[in-house]
Structure formats: structure tokens, C-alpha cells
Amino acid sequence: RLTEVRLTEVRLNTSENHCIVEDSSLVFTLVPPYILVISVLGIIFNVFVLMVFCLHKKACTVAEIYLSNLAGADLALVFCLPFWADHARIFYDWPFSESLCKVTSAVIYMNAFCSIYFLVLVSIDRYVALVHSLSHERICRPFYAKLGCLFVWVFGLVSALPIFIYRKLEFNPQSNLTQCSLDLPLNQYLMYEVRVIMFSFIIPVIIILFCTVKIIQSLSNRLMEGLKPQRTEQKTTTLILAVLLAFLICWVPLHVTKILDVLQNTGILKCHITLIVIQQVSVYFAFFNSVLNPILYIIIGKSFRNRSKEFFKEPNTGLAYYKYNLYIHKYISEVHLHIAF
């Protein structure tokens, strides 16, 4: 399951049988440090990205607004992972409160949901910029980009409410473990999973693929006609395509295994240990995307590298600029206070 960070379970109930998975000491040895590494690197890299985008004196472009919100979603995810690392360390016995079970699970789900829709927005932006360039300036403005991001955050929060409501701590006497799991009857769980697959995978991926194909066609047509796209637009588009590809590589396996899980729980597919292991491995592979995005910004995004250099080198940008503004605002407030008295 998307929000269930558990590589192995002692038993998995299906409509026909019990599928028994042997515990593996190797799993308990490798998973916790892997999650912690992802957490530490994810926090460092995504905080750096947010600082460069948000504290730089230059205003963000529309694409950068979407990417900064994507970094915010990734940061929220990696902040929750250490709890699941400790969960794996003690053989998948949940050691924390039920509230933490609900919150961390909901945040992980909301991250996955918001991330893909931020990529939908940035795909549409690149599509309009290259395929309908005359309408780009009118439609794709920073104000509308921020409004779109706000809508995605609200939509993601609402979509995560069922996770927050129905996630509960349950003691499993068969495994002698306290599990943080969804407390739903099988038929309701299947309906919920189908909705998740539709709205957090199939629909957004169709939009992303449509925009990507049109973008590639537009670039190819311009090259065939001897017209070169603007250098800035081309570099931005290359970065966006790389981010989209990385997201699909990291997240598609998880959603495919979720579809197979639904088929398994309806009895169409028989329970198979290999499928269970692949499903849980795909969860951890998806988390790596939160670390990969900032690396892509640095390797491919020349504009981001330039922003980073300015952020740390120029005296009137970055941290110096931010601290200077804080000082000026504080000074003006004190002056107004003295005048008032």
C-alpha cells in the first residue's frame, strides 16, 4: 500500500488464502539505514533547493514556482521517514502513538498526491510555452501558478483525510506486532484503492504523457524547420523532462504493484510472495525520488546552478539579502514605534 512502509509482513489476508512471508533479518538490517540516508539527504537537498528558490532576490519563474512546491512536498515526506526507519528497526512493530501513525501516513500519501499534480502543472506550463507560445504570457503567470499550487495543496490535504481518519493501531496476535494500518472492510478498501489509482496515477500520468509527447513533437518540428527554441526555454524544458522521467521511473512501479494488489485482493490473482516483496520494495524505491530531484536541478539545471552561485556569492542576494531585509523591516518597525510614542 502507498502509505504503508513495510517490506515484509508475517501474513497477508486474501479472499482465498493466507499468504505467508518469511521474516528476513537482512531486511531488518538494510531497510532502516537506507531510510535514514534518504531522510538526511532529502532534508539537506530539499532545504537547499527551497532556500535558493525562495530566498533569492530574483522572482521565481512559473516553472520554478512549481519545482519549489515539489521540493516542499518532498521535504514533508522525508521528515516523516525516520519514524518508519525506527519502525523497521524493531521488526515492524509500531512504537509510537496512534496520532503519529495517522499524521505520518497522511503526510506520505499527501506528498505522493501533490508531487504528481505539481508535475501535471509544470507539464501543462511547458506544453503551453512551446505548443501555444502566443497564449503563454497571458495564461501562465506567477499569480496563476501560485493559485494552482494552493489548489493542489488543498486537494492533497482533502484526499489524505481518509488516511488520517481510518489509520489505526491494531495488535496482530499472529505476529505479536502492533501495526499501523488502514482499518477498512475489504470492499471499502478496494473501492478506496481504485479511486487512489485513478486520481493519483492514471489521470495525471495521461495528462503528463500527452503534454510530454506534444512538447517533444514541437521541439522536433522546430528543429526540422530550422527554428531553434529560445535557449532559456530549451534548458528549462530539458530539466522538466528529466524530472518527469525520474518521477515516472521511481513511482510507476509502486502504482503498478498497487493495481496488482487490488487484483490479488479481489481473487483475480493468487497471493504470491514475490509480488508482496516487489510491492514493498517499490515503496522504498519511490522515496528515492525525493533525493533525486535536487540532484537533477544541480546537474541539468544551469539556471538553478547560477541562482545557487549568486545566492552564496553576491552580497545583495541569498542569505545576506534575506538578513538585510529582516534588519530593515525590524528597523522600520522600531522607528514607527518610536514615532507612535
97 vs 59, which has greater pLDDT? 97
Mean pLDDT in the chain?
79
pLDDT at 41 exceeding the cut of 90: yes
Q: What percent of the chain has pLDDT over 90?
A: 28
What is the enclosing helix (H) or strand (E) of 263?
A: helix 231-265
Per-residue pLDDT tens over the stretch 176-199:
888 888 888 888 888 988 999 999
CA 189 to chain centre: 23
Fold category of 11-300 in CATH: Rhopdopsin 7-helix transmembrane proteins (1.20.1070)
Closest to 207 in 3D by CA, of 142, 138, 133, 118: 118
Residue 15's pLDDT is what?
37
C-alpha cell at 308: 545557487
> pTM of this prediction?
0.81
**DSSP string covering 122-165:** HHHHHHHHHHSHHHHHHH--HHHHHHHHHHHHHHHHHHTHHHHH
8 Å CB contact between 271 and 339: no
Closest to 87 in 3D by CA, of 5, 146, 19, 10: 5
Residue 18's pLDDT is what?
46
Three-state DSSP state, 90: coil
Per-residue pLDDT tens over the stretch 224-277:
766 665 666 677 788 888 898 998 899 999 899 888 888 888 888 777 777 777
